Structure 1
Amino acid sequence: MIKGVLFDLDGTLLNRDESVKMFINNQYNRLIKQVGHIPKERYVTRFIELDNRGYVWKDRVYQQLVKELGINKITWDELLHDYLSEFKNNCVPFINLIKMLEELKNLNLHLGIITNGYGQFQLDNIKALGIQKYFDVILVSEWEEMKKPHPKIFYRALEKLELLPQQSIFIGDHPENDVKAAQSVGMNTIWKKDDQWKNVHATYTVNDLSEIPFIVKNMVKKK
């Protein structure tokens, strides 16, 4: 019987692609005196390319951006500081996020988040989405000193929730870090579909967060 549901954050609950677009457009506007000599489209596009959907940390992104675009009125670490302090103000949720979490809580399930990233940065984004109150446990890789797909971070979350792997579901968008990693410890899985990946073999696949409660309700009923 399913007693708990755990989530990835970026690309699953947080629409990171849209959040990054909003942030970098706003950063350009906010720092127009320092970067305005560069066409906005070029600044925005190159940042998104270098960011590689979050898989390149921003110190490297900004160092390269400053070098390529000839930025000399602001340093790369000042741009990084702006990112760290302002990104939380640009967090875009996937549609039906709150509704989905409310429905799961009404099923008396334990809820958790396991996310890679820097601790305070990720917690600030969770708070910005207004969802911290729904979760019984939040594990961020920096604070746990391990990251997905390492099985220990999944076991740690399950231990904190007092759940066995087979009593839980993990929901995420990444085939390796989320789906395969959770499966390797014996958890059920739901893949939040991302069109850049193909042939992902999760227990279930969803396109929209609104589909999750229906799936979970059926799994809760199974003994």
Structure 2
Amino acid sequence: MKQAIVFDLDDTLYCEKEYVISGFQEVDRWIRIHLNRQGFFEQAERLLYQGHKGNIFDKVLQTLRIEHDYSIIREMLTIYREHLPRIKLYEDALWALQYVSSKARTGLITDGFWAAQRQKVIALGILPFFNHIVYSDELGRACWKPCPLPYIKMTESLGILPSACVYIGDNPQKDFITAKCLGWTTVQVKREDGLYKDIIVDSDYWADYNVSSLFELRHLGFV
């Protein structure tokens, strides 16, 4: 039996593409009102599903022939990151939060810009499920996972030893290696549409357990 179960957020508890789509819709509204131009959402969504990342805003503005400078991009990013998203928990995530929070201490460690991550937590209505939340961005950009500080802050706040903690995430590139080094037990959720379910990493980065659904937690014997 473990004393604490700690979750990742993006693509572990909800589908991050839903968040991206929601953000594009908010930016589209702003462009329609302030730049008097239509079509941003359709173009951004197309690039997203083609696998583009990083500079979608620039690409769409160029496609729509909208003259812009960094101040326009900055405003779009602010709208995107600070909007209250239209997202929902995975069905198994809601079950897992209800099940685990009734049996153990619970936590959330999440990377990403603080304002955006906070809005996601509010939109999902999950604050009551957690004894403590670590937004790694509050510690500084250099403290995003796999930096050990978020994990250390979590165990200190929960008042328990690392060996009593389980970390559940989806991204083997950053979620598990540090937790394992600190003595945590780790679980990767490999969803059918997960971005990282088939990624190849060195064995040091592997989770201790793999599941395809959080419903499987009941069979692992942690709580």
Does the TM-score normalized on the shorter chain lie above 0.5? yes
- Secondary structure of the 2:156 match is helix
User: Aligned pair 1:13/2:13, yes or no?
Assistant: yes
Tell me, yes or no, if the aligned pair for 1:47 and 1:65 is still in contact at 8 Å: no
**Aligned with 1:79 (options 72, 76, 79):** 76
CA distance, structure 1, for counterparts of residue 40 and residue 126 of structure 2 = 36
Q: Name the counterpart of 2:182.
A: 185
Q: Name the counterpart of 2:136.
A: 141
Q: Name the counterpart of 1:219.
A: 222
In the TM superposition, 1:1-223 aligns within 5 A as 1-25=1-25, 27-28=27-28, 31-32=31-32, 34=35, 36-38=37-39, 41-46=42-47, 52=53, 56=54, 61-72=56-67, 75-86=72-83, 88-107=84-103, 109-145=104-140, 146-193=143-190, 194=194, 195-198=197-200, 201-215=206-220, 218-220=221-223
State the aligned residue count.
210
Tell me, yes or no, if the aligned pair for 2:9 and 2:109 is still in contact at 8 Å: yes
Structure 2 stretches lacking a partner, 5+ long: none
Tell me, yes or no, if the aligned pair for 1:95 and 1:209 is still in contact at 8 Å: no
Tell me, yes or no, if the aligned pair for 1:50 and 1:61 is still in contact at 8 Å: no
Deviations for 1:30-52, whole angstroms, at most 9, x for unmatched residues? 64464745475433223566863
- Secondary structure of the 1:175 match is coil
RMSD (Å), alpha carbons: 2.7
Shift of 1:203: 1.8
Amino acid at match of 2:199: W
CA distance, structure 2, for counterparts of residue 143 and residue 49 of structure 1 = 32
Tell me, yes or no, if the aligned pair for 2:23 and 2:81 is still in contact at 8 Å: no
CA distance, structure 1, for counterparts of residue 49 and residue 73 of structure 2 = 16
Q: 1:89 to 1:152 in 2, by over 3 A?
A: closer
What TM-score, normalized by structure 1, do the two folds share?
Answer: 0.80
Structure 1 stretches lacking a partner, 5+ long: none
Shift of 1:181: 2.2
Shift of 1:139: 0.7
CA distance, structure 2, for counterparts of residue 40 and residue 125 of structure 1 = 20
Deviations for 1:42-98, whole angstroms, at most 9, x for unmatched residues? 33223566863xxx4xxx553454345422389222322321232x32223222322
Percent identity over the alignment is 24
